[in-house]
Amino acid sequence: MPLRQVTEVAAPSFDGSSGDAEAGLASIEVGGGERLVQNGPDPLLVPRLALGRYLLQKLQLHGDKDFLIHAVTGERWTFSDVLRKSTSVAESLRALGLMTGEVVGMFTGNCMEFFLPILGAYYLGASIATFSPTSTVSELLHAMNISKPRIIFCSTDCVETLEKVVGQLPFLQTVVVLGATTSPRHVPFHSLIQHEPANFNSVDVDPEQHIAAILCSSGTTGLPKGVMLTATNVITCMEGLMSPVFGDLNASQTHLGVLPLFHSYGYLAQLASLSIGFTTILMPRFNEDLFLRSIQTYKVWTGPFKLVISYAISHYQSGLRPGLRHVPSVSRTGASKIRLLFIAPTLMVFLAKHPKVDLYDLRSVQEIWCGSAPLSPEVHKQVEKRLNVANIRQGYGMTETTMGVVNTPRGAVKYGSAGRLAPGTSAKVLDLKSGKPLGPNQKGELCFRSPLNMRGYCGNLKATLETVDDEGFVHSGDIGYYDEDCYFYIVDRVKELIKYKGHQVPPAEVESVLLKNPAIKDAAVVGLPDDLAGELPLAFVVRQPGSYISEGDIVKYVAEHISPHKRLHGGVRFIDAIPKTASGKILRRQLKTTFLTKSKL
């Protein structure tokens, strides 16, 4: 086997040493004509524990500190509360006959109880599958036939959809309803929390073999697939988020939980809160005023860990106008306000552009993590300036890589970059035509090999083999590149590139130009089929309230800021909202199907 040329980029080791004192990089070249980017040996010492035991120990460690606080009701649970409730649920699941290796489903939106069945299942060595609460009947049927849950936990607002598929799912034996139920076929959730079991012991299973989660891929380019993440994947993710060489998160944070918990980003972010020990103010769903008001008014005690609610609830329930601050004076000694946000670019655009943001005091926010889609430098800078937040940390990952394989180091931002590789992670960038690895500043498909990589797609060996190559690299389907400092940049999806007269037009690049315009609230760009050009870049635009910007104005504006082949040759369509996934990814196929098909009728 001939030697290959290798350009090796080493991430800092766990003790802080690196191949290059300034940049933390090292380069090695040997033989041949290929180049490979990698971060060197795995520097993280990951405990070889069953996931259930790992999380049980974390709950015991954090004790009476606040874990969850409901943003609307003010209900508060400590880590000890969650420990007591989750072990009770585990014993009830055991009584229902749940066995190691079986699957428990979650079909509900954000709620305080969300992680109790998840923890209970993990204590018993079972797996978790999550389903979007907005799923249609066909979507739910497709997803459940992948993971085949034996027991499912369902909120009352999802029962109607679930009932329409139950008869087609012979593997589903028990439906537990989170809330009131009158059906004898359903088990009320409250009946599973009866008492704290004495001398509770979790089941020991091999973390490398235990499939901890079966999470649906985004489905932006096809039907969702079931991504199998092992317990080792999850624990490695948690340890990486704590590590000073990657996530650098700690228990002093207070986090506003706005992400959907069924999605991999929200799911793993909330598990991080539990593992690391920081408090989450949990939002049931996104609401502009509740989001901003929660940041302004919530305080969490960092001493005796007691919540002080500065009238957030009364504001929300009484309908007082945004920005009213009739808040009783409280001592700031020992109190921490919301400092950390995990959000998607959709919310970054909101923070950058929405006039409501100026009505609230958001000065407590010190750090923002942004992922799930590329964040434009323009929006990044707008939020940075408007909120005076220096640490806006963009990251990159997929459900297939257990959230993040690239993240921006604290205090080392490069605008437009998603950051550096995670410990133990290797990456290569492949030429889209030849498939050959590329060097710095050359755009191609991003591929990653990491201890965070999935086990595979559940029940879909063909798709697994198409996604993971013989060297163990997951092919992301995303176009990007890395620079001389091993900072990675995400350009767009391979399958979403617009082909205009032989040129490749990344929609995200055109969208970033559109979002600079203060008259534009949101935008998405797709390819309009054309016999001569192949595809014409077409923009769907949501105007800012009170804006009357025209199609001609937008076409001219884009032409002034971008090269000729990337201009809006397909024109502009105005719509009320850009359809997106729960994690903020633009549903381009839906835009084409819904709006372009209608225009032909």
User: Does the structure show a pLDDT above 60 at 480?
Assistant: yes
Least trusted range by pLDDT, from 32-36, 79-83, 345-349, 497-501: 32-36
For a pLDDT cut of 90, what percent of the chain falls above it? 67
Q: Taking residues 58-80, what's their average pLDDT?
A: 95
Rounded to the nearest 5 degrees, what angle is found at the Cα of 119, between the Cα atoms of 115 and 125?
145
Q: Taking residues 412-423, what's their average pLDDT?
A: 93
Two structure tokens written together for 522: 């949101």
User: Does the structure show a pLDDT above 80 at 598?
Assistant: no
Two structure tokens written together for 346: 């959709």
User: Does the structure show a pLDDT above 70 at 29?
Assistant: no
* Mean pLDDT for all residues in the chain: 85
User: Does the structure show a pLDDT above 80 at 12?
Assistant: no
What per-residue confidence (pLDDT) applies to 298? 85
From CA 108, how far away is CA 399, in angstroms rounded? 19
Number of CB atoms found within 10 A of residue 81's CB: 16
What per-residue confidence (pLDDT) applies to 374? 83
**Domain layout of the chain by residue ranges:** 497-600
Least trusted range by pLDDT, from 161-165, 182-186, 224-228, 263-267: 182-186
Question: Which residues, including other chains, have CB under 8 Å from residue 139's CB and lie 6 or more apart?
Answer: 132, 224
User: Does the structure show a pLDDT above 90 at 78?
Assistant: yes
What per-residue confidence (pLDDT) applies to 506? 84
Was domain 497-600 assigned CATH 3.30.300.30? yes
What per-residue confidence (pLDDT) applies to 8? 32
Assign 588 a pLDDT band (cuts: 50, 70, 90): confident
Most confident of 33-37, 115-119, 525-529: 115-119
Q: Are 590 and 578 in contact (CB under 8 A)?
A: no
Assign 60 a pLDDT band (cuts: 50, 70, 90): very high
Q: Taking residues 52-65, what's their average pLDDT?
A: 96
Sign of CA dihedral 353, 357, 358, 362: negative
Q: Are 412 and 384 in contact (CB under 8 A)?
A: no
User: Does the structure show a pLDDT above 50 at 593?
Assistant: yes
What per-residue confidence (pLDDT) applies to 360? 95
Q: Are 108 and 153 in contact (CB under 8 A)?
A: yes
Assign 30 a pLDDT band (cuts: 50, 70, 90): very low
User: Does the structure show a pLDDT above 80 at 543?
Assistant: yes
What per-residue confidence (pLDDT) applies to 368? 96
The helix/strand count (H/E) of the chain reads as 16, 30
Question: Which residues, including other chains, have CB under 8 Å from residue 170's CB and lie 6 or more apart?
Answer: none
Most confident of 41-50, 213-222, 421-430: 421-430
What per-residue confidence (pLDDT) applies to 300? 62
From CA 136, how far away is CA 111, in angstroms rounded? 20
What per-residue confidence (pLDDT) applies to 219? 61
Note the pLDDT tens digit of each residue in 352-400.
Answer: 999 999 999 999 999 999 998 788 899 999 999 999 999 999 999 999 9
Note the pLDDT tens digit of each residue in 436-469.
Answer: 999 999 999 999 999 999 999 999 999 999 999 9
Q: Is 188 exposed, middle or buried (0-12, 13-18, 19+ CB in 10 A)?
A: middle
Assign 314 a pLDDT band (cuts: 50, 70, 90): very low
Note the pLDDT tens digit of each residue in 195-204.
Answer: 778 889 899 9
- Bigger pLDDT: 543 vs 373: 543
Q: Taking residues 127-142, what's their average pLDDT?
A: 93
Stated pTM of the model: 0.80
What per-residue confidence (pLDDT) applies to 599? 53
User: Does the structure show a pLDDT above 70 at 111?
Assistant: yes
What per-residue confidence (pLDDT) applies to 11? 36
Assign 172 a pLDDT band (cuts: 50, 70, 90): very high
Assign 575 a pLDDT band (cuts: 50, 70, 90): very high
User: Does the structure show a pLDDT above 90 at 83?
Assistant: yes
User: Does the structure show a pLDDT above 90 at 563?
Assistant: no
What per-residue confidence (pLDDT) applies to 586? 87
Assign 4 a pLDDT band (cuts: 50, 70, 90): very low
Assign 597 a pLDDT band (cuts: 50, 70, 90): low
